Structure 1
């Protein structure tokens, strides 16, 4: 794995962590009332950013 592949992988992981953190905070603030809508929104944004592709293939470390 080249250095650019490694940096790209790290950036995706950071983005995913940030997305998950934001989802948890929004669910806490709403008391879980809108969990389904928040999850759908998160998946839509991740899909537009190309982050959903990482879920389908194993990490190539």
Structure 2
């Protein structure tokens, strides 16, 4: 199992346990903290990561509702 698979498994567990909206809030908060700690130097990359994570959580929610 690669690192990407490990992250996906952890994300699925988090969504199942606390819900997609709370996971997305956590991702947003973590990204904001990274921006704060780096002075926004990597804001574009952080925003891309936050967006990708949010999209993935939305996809998991859609899949679980079928």
TM-score of the superposed pair, with normalisation by structure 1: 0.57
Q: Which has the higher contact order (CA 8 A, sep 6+)?
A: 2
When you count helix as a share of all residues, which structure comes out higher?
A: 2
Distance 1:31 1:16 in 2: 22
> Number of residue pairs matched?
44
Distance 1:22 1:14, change over 3 A: same
Query: Of residues 20, 26, 30 in structure 1, which corresponds to 2:34?
Result: 26
How many Å apart are 1:49 and its aligned residue? 2.2
Which structure 2 segments of 5+ residues have no match? 1-15, 62-66
Mark the structure with the bigger radius of gyration.
Answer: 1
Map 1:7-46 to 2 at 5 A: 11-46=19-54
Which structure 1 segments of 5+ residues have no match? 1-7, 54-61
Could you say what the CA RMSD is over the residues aligned between the two structures, in angstroms? 2.3
